[in-house]
């Protein structure tokens, strides 16, 4: 009788723990993956921005520049039947050179106007940015963290080629989640017109990023919650955290990659940039910025960033 009672207690405990784990997995899915207003990143010290960077992000002249341009509105139906929205701006003088931008988590395409202004005014490129799935004016009820988005990049690339011509030369430039997206696309077969990728503040893979953030933000171990959240994501959004890996993709990269990252980035640790750089199979280069947090390299060190970018582009463009 005592053995049966103990067995029942053990079974009840196991079931209770499993239920708690499933509830936690769905909670963290809703917290990070599901499309809805997010507040959990507010007052996050790892995302604290310097006064100089904040001034550029919120009041920079690039914002007026974006509003003043006559962008063409483009639409794209994805492989899973979502409708995405993008903006294309042809260069002042006709050119076959185009840059495609992808933005960060909870952002929108026009946020990349900070970088687009330089490509457009200083380099004479056509520029294109879009709202990634689940963001801005694009459809989608979840955030893909780059995995499904990598295929969207390939589809947008084909639309750019249709617009610019078969002699198009295309650069893929992403920031944070957008950078990881471009890196995830790097290992896929893509058009010969894509000449290089510029990755700013990317993470290695979604599992490692969340593992790091769970420890830092919630002081929780990854197991068992993170594998369960990944399973929930696989069921509800059709991708798992481990498969969403930029690190695996750059090992099979098809084009050269330039990495930028802040040395003081504690949201996506700088070590991730080093790992990506060291594992890239193609020609690659990296620039790390002193005293720069997440995504701050360009605003705090614009001259160094621009010079490195131009030097890299001269090597990869025909």
User: CATH number of the domain that 40 lies in?
Assistant: 3.40.50.1820
pLDDT per residue as tens digits for the range 187-203: 999 899 999 999 999 99
pLDDT band at 19 (very low <50, low <70, confident <90, very high): low
Please give the average per-residue pLDDT across 58-81, as a whole number: 94
Tokens of 238: 């059709």
pLDDT band at 107 (very low <50, low <70, confident <90, very high): very high
Residue 99 lies in a domain: yes
* Residue scoring higher pLDDT (171 or 220): 171
Distance in angstroms (rounded) separating the CA atoms of residues 263 and 34: 30
* Residue scoring higher pLDDT (125 or 219): 125
User: Comparing 22-26, 57-61, 229-233, which segment has the lowest mean pLDDT?
Assistant: 22-26
Distance in angstroms (rounded) separating the CA atoms of residues 14 and 11: 5
Tokens of 48: 């604290």
Three-state SS sequence of the chain: CHHHHHHHHHHHHHHHHHHHHHHHHHHHHHHHCECCCCCCCCCCHHHCCCHHHHHHHHHCHHHHHHHHCCCEEEEEECCCCCEEEEEEECCCCCCCEEEEEECCCCCCHHHHHHHHHHHHHCCCCEEEEECCCCCCCCCCCECCCCCCHHHHHHHHHHHHHHHHCCCCEEEEEEECHHHHHHHHHHCCCCCCCEEEEEEECCCCEHHHHHHHHHHHHHCCCCCCHHHHHHHHHHHHHCCCCCCCEHHHHHCCCCCCEEEEEECCCCCCCHHHHHHHHHHCCCCEEEEEECCCCCCCHHHHCHHHHHHHHHHHHHHHCC
Contacts of residue 127, defined as CB under 8 A and 6 or more positions apart, other chains included, come to: 88, 89, 91, 98, 99, 101, 116, 119, 120
Residue 229 lies in a domain: no
Please give the average per-residue pLDDT across 149-175, as a whole number: 97
Distance in angstroms (rounded) separating the CA atoms of residues 228 and 225: 5
Neighbours of 213 (CB within 10 A): 20
User: Which residue range forms the structural domain that includes residue 268?
Assistant: 33-205+244-316
pLDDT per residue as tens digits for the range 225-236: 899 999 999 999
Mean pLDDT of the chain: 91
Q: What pLDDT sits at residue 143? A: 95
* Residue scoring higher pLDDT (48 or 54): 54
pLDDT per residue as tens digits for the range 258-305: 999 999 999 999 999 999 999 999 999 999 999 999 999 999 999 999
Q: What pLDDT sits at residue 11? A: 65
Residue 263 lies in a domain: yes
CA distances, 99 to each of 64, 130, 219, 252, 267 (Å): 20, 12, 40, 22, 26
Domain count across the chain: 1
Residue 230 lies in a domain: no
pTM of the model: 0.91
Q: What pLDDT sits at residue 221? A: 81
Contacts of residue 95, defined as CB under 8 A and 6 or more positions apart, other chains included, come to: 124, 125, 126
Q: What pLDDT sits at residue 132? A: 98
Q: What pLDDT sits at residue 10? A: 61
User: Comparing 38-42, 192-196, 226-230, 311-315, which segment has the lowest mean pLDDT?
Assistant: 38-42
Distance in angstroms (rounded) separating the CA atoms of residues 150 and 181: 5
Q: What pLDDT sits at residue 214? A: 87
Percentage above 90 pLDDT, the chain? 75
CA-nearest of 272, 302, 303 to 286 is 272
Please give the average per-residue pLDDT across 88-104, as a whole number: 97
Please give the average per-residue pLDDT across 80-84, as a whole number: 97
Distance in angstroms (rounded) separating the CA atoms of residues 235 and 240: 9
Residue 50 lies in a domain: yes
CA-nearest of 70, 119, 49 to 262 is 49
Contacts of residue 153, defined as CB under 8 A and 6 or more positions apart, other chains included, come to: 100, 102, 172, 181, 182, 185
Q: What pLDDT sits at residue 44? A: 61
């Amino acid at each position: 009788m005592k053995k049966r009672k103990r067995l029942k207690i053990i079974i009840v405990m196991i079931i209770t723990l499993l239920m708690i784990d499933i509830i936690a997995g769905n909670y963290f899915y809703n917290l990070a993956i599901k499309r809805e207003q997010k507040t959990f990143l507010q007052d996050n010290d790892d995302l604290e921005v310097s006064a100089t960077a904040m001034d550029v992000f919120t009041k920079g002249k690039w914002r007026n520049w974006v509003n003043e341009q006559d962008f063409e509105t483009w639409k794209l139906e994805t492989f899973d039947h979502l409708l995405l929205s993008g903006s294309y701006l042809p260069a002042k003088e006709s050119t076959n050179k185009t840059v495609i931008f992808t933005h960060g988590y909870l952002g929108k395409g026009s946020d990349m106007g900070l970088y687009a202004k330089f490509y457009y005014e200083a380099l004479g490129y056509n520029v294109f940015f879009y709202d990634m799935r689940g963001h801005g004016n694009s459809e989608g009820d979840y955030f893909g963290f780059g995995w499904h988005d990598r295929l969207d990049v390939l589809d947008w690339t084909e639309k750019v080629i249709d617009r610019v011509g078969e002699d198009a030369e295309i650069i893929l430039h992403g920031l944070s989640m957008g950078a990881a997206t471009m890196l995830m696309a790097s290992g896929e077969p893509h058009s010969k017109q894509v000449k290089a990728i510029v990755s700013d503040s990317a993470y290695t893979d979604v599992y490692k990023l969340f593992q790091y953030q769970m420890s830092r933000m919630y002081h929780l171990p990854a197991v068992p919650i993170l594998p369960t959240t990944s399973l929930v994501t696989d069921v509800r959004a059709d991708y798992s955290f481990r498969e969403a890996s930029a690190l695996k993709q750059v090992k099979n990269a098809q084009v050269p990659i330039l990495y930028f990252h802040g040395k003081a980035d504690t949201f996506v640790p700088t070590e991730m940039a080093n790992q990506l750089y060291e594992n890239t199979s193609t020609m690659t280069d990296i620039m790390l910025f002193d005293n720069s947090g997440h995504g701050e390299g360009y605003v705090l060190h614009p001259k160094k960033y621009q010079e490195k970018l131009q030097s890299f582009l001269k090597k990869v463009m025909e």
